[in-house]
Amino acid sequence: MIKKIKDKDKEDWENFLNNNKKKLNKNSVKKKDIKNPDKDKLDWENFLNNKEKIPDKDFVHKKNIRYEKIKKIDLHGYTIDEANKTIEQFIHKCFDENVTKIIVITGKGLRSKNAENPYLSKDLSILKYSVPEFIEDNKILTQFIIETTDAKIEDGGSGAFYIHLKNKNKFKE
């Protein structure tokens, strides 16, 4: 069944179309500059010839980033005095080279012969305990150090520890 369109509906439809055409004309895109039809081309050529550098958003050079530089020292077999002198020199050297983290391997002290001597403390005679204590008591070394933490298993676990050093460039005595 086909319905016939009434005259009133036709009139309403034409009014609707006429009103929308007026709106389109108001919101329509601006017409190109008739006086200068090649303006876009000129703008593009000016852009290409411009010597001014445009920053690359994908590559941002970050000056404040301190890349991690790690050094490792193994103190197995050292006496306490040798270990203390060696670690002191090593920390100074690493600080001068702007190293961020030192992995100090002391061992767990399970094979230490000092445990047999009744006149020596078991804990303090083992490098695992004596080296960190030496570092904490040395005021010169503590100026260079942010913190000392236990090492992860892959770096030696309970037989090692980390020393995180301050940035030499920002260091103030």
Q: Note the pLDDT of residue 123.
A: 46
Q: Note the pLDDT of residue 145.
A: 92
Query: 20-57: per-residue pLDDT in tens?
Result: 765 555 555 555 556 676 888 888 888 888 877 676 66
Please answer whether residues 73 and 88 qualify as being in contact, where contact means their C-beta atoms are separated by less than 8 angstroms.
Answer: no
Q: Going edge to edge, which strands form the sheet with 101-105?
A: 70-74, 101-105, 160-165, 145-150
Mean pLDDT score, 110-132:
60
Query: 121-130: per-residue pLDDT in tens?
Result: 444 447 888 8
| Spatial distance between the Cα atoms of 31 and 37, rounded to a whole number of angstroms | 11
Cα-flanking dihedrals φ and ψ of residue 163, to 5°? Answer: -120, 120
Q: Note the pLDDT of residue 119.
A: 40
Higher pLDDT, 63 or 114: 63
* Structural domains of the chain, with CATH: 70-170 (3.30.1370.110)
Query: 158-173: per-residue pLDDT in tens?
Result: 889 999 999 887 766 6
| Spatial distance between the Cα atoms of 170 and 82, rounded to a whole number of angstroms | 31
